[in-house]
Amino acid sequence: MKFNVRCHLLRSVMATVPDTAPLNRSIINMVIENAMPSSLASLDFFKDAYELRIARLKEERVNGIKIVGTFCLYVPDEIIFAAGADRIVLCGGRADTIPVAEQSLPRNICPLIKSSFGAVVDACCEGNLACPHVPLVDVVVAEATCDGKKKMYEILPDYLPTYVLDLPQKPESPEALNYFLSELKKFGKFMEDLTGTIVSEDALRREIRSANETRRLLHRFFGMRKRDPPPIRGSEVLRVMQKQFFLSPDQFRQGISRLCDEMEHAAPETRTGPRIMISGCPMAAGNTKVPDIIEQKGGVIVVEESCTGTRSFWDLVDEDKDPLTALAERYLDIPCACITPNDQRIARIVDLAKQYDVQGVVYYTLQFCHAYNIERLRVQRALKKEKIPMLALESDYGDSDIEQIGIRVDAFLEMIS
């Protein structure tokens, strides 16, 4: 078997992972959630829908529908769905798959990359850190964003078929749109070959309308967080937003609609505290440490500028243009720190802080994520001009720094109160 040697290494290293490693984080989450019970019954929909979604994906595979795994917002779901395939995200937010990845990857790269790669290796080598997503996918559609991901994608085909969508690094240049449009056309052809279904203009328009409907619902959802106090906790919002990458579009819209309806008629909350925006790296499923600590210390999270926040839905696709051109324009507008210059992101952070009446920004970066870490300086300068305080936190997926982060958050909240 192709993976025999690698799988032998995997089983050896897994013997060294403590049985309690994945337990610590879940215990902390449970304590926090029990201490601050939610009054929103609609949140239960998202907990229950996940198992139904996994069962549905298994049925689709049996029926010959291709399942695509992705890691990033830059991959247009509209093209995947227009080709008759389905999609689920493979981003890792757990610490327990990192030792697996470090058999192949250096230790000093971002934990999201290591966690994601480790989950793939574990699943393909029949390890015991079960991730239900990996065995379901027929192919991974990756994207050329940060250097760590791009090099990881060079060894990912040892485990799963992989297609890499290239991105222009300077999206505002005159050539960028034409280049990315050519990449989307090649991606469309790849999906047609995979599924045997033509990616027609009508199908693309249908999926664009569907995706925009989801984005409009999320604008409604986030709009209600401008209230003082907001009707939902930031940690609850994060767990909902993480589900958008797992559930089907119809499932997710159904849940968001229910939640919005309930929030509109919910009794006012009594929580008070400084209004906080979290900005920075994505928080993949399993990674809720920082929001949990902020709320435990009395902060009120009202908005997130991240891939698991506003970045995932803020801009709509133009429904009146040629669909591929409209998709290219919209996805190039995603203000990720992997692009340069990133003036759009700086301006958006300031704008969101004003819209949501933010009293302080927590700038969150994953350890060894150089792009977001370096961009922190420009964000800090822009916020300082607006007299908005900022706390920079750098962390990984482990629990060893919980107390230290708590002390710093406590001091920051006291300063801005």
Q: pLDDT tens across 69-122, in order?
A: 999 999 999 999 999 999 999 999 999 999 999 999 999 999 999 999 999 999
Instruction: Assign 3-state DSSP to the chain and report helix, strand, coil percentages, each to 5.
Output: 55, 10, 35
How far is residue 133's CA from residue 140's CA, in Å, rounded to a whole number?
11
How far is residue 364's CA from residue 307's CA, in Å, rounded to a whole number?
12
pLDDT tens profile 284-317:
999 999 999 999 999 999 999 999 999 999 999 9
pLDDT score recorded for residue 15 = 46
How far is residue 315's CA from residue 367's CA, in Å, rounded to a whole number?
28
Average pLDDT over residues 29-57: 77
pLDDT cut 70: percent of the chain above it = 90
Both 261 and 300 in one domain: the answer is yes
Average pLDDT over residues 190-214: 98
pLDDT tens profile 112-167:
999 999 999 999 988 877 688 999 999 999 999 999 999 999 999 999 999 999 99
How far is residue 375's CA from residue 340's CA, in Å, rounded to a whole number?
10
pLDDT score recorded for residue 25 = 41
Both 138 and 253 in one domain: the answer is no
Both 334 and 374 in one domain: the answer is yes
pLDDT tens profile 213-228:
999 999 999 999 999 9
> Domain span at residue 375?
203-416
How far is residue 362's CA from residue 378's CA, in Å, rounded to a whole number?
14
Both 292 and 311 in one domain: the answer is yes
How far is residue 173's CA from residue 150's CA, in Å, rounded to a whole number?
22
pLDDT score recorded for residue 385 = 98
Both 185 and 282 in one domain: the answer is no
pLDDT score recorded for residue 7 = 52
Q: Evaluate if residue 33 carries a pLDDT over 60.
A: no
42 assigned to some structural domain: no
**DSSP assigned state of 20:** T
Q: Which tokens sit at 92? A: 């890792």
Both 333 and 406 in one domain: the answer is yes
pLDDT score recorded for residue 31 = 38
**DSSP assigned state of 224:** G
Average pLDDT over residues 380-398: 98
Its pTM stands at 0.91
Average pLDDT over residues 343-365: 98
Q: How many domains does the chain have?
A: 2
pLDDT tens profile 225-265:
999 999 999 999 999 999 999 999 999 999 999 999 999 98
94 assigned to some structural domain: yes
Both 268 and 226 in one domain: the answer is yes
pLDDT score recorded for residue 38 = 66
Q: Which tokens sit at 8? A: 């032998």
Both 330 and 224 in one domain: the answer is yes
